[in-house]
Amino acid sequence: MTARAEKAVAYFYDQEIGNFCYGGGNPMRPHRARLVYSLLKSYGLTQNMILHKPEPRSFEQLTEFHADDYIDFLRVVTPSTAEDN
């Protein structure tokens, strides 16, 4: 019988998540992300996780997974101009 590999849980969180305006129609609710992290920490579950803080990425890194025109759009869009674009 082979030994079962132990699985690791990775969790990505940055406390700065609430410092951005995601726009009224965006389903992202920063307080929910903060609440989930707070609950994980309160129950001691973060001790069993690999915690990562996302780092800013360059244009080249972002376009490895996203179209160039999408990243260009995100560079210039604001909540007041979102409807125009």
pLDDT tens per residue, range 28-59: 788 888 899 999 999 999 999 999 999 999 99
pLDDT class of 7 with cuts at 50, 70, 90: confident
| Separation between Cα atoms, residue 37 and residue 18, nearest integer Å | 13
Report the pLDDT averaged over residues 5-21. 83
A 10 A CB-CB count for 33 gives 16
Sign of CA dihedral 42, 29, 76, 61: positive
Quick check: 23 and 82 in contact, CB under 8 A? yes
For residue 60, CA distances in Å to 12, 45, 68, 72, 78 come to: 21, 35, 9, 12, 22
Q: Name the token pair of 43.
A: 């129950």
Residue 3: which pLDDT band, with cuts at 50, 70 and 90? low
Q: What mean pLDDT, rounded, does the chain reach?
A: 86
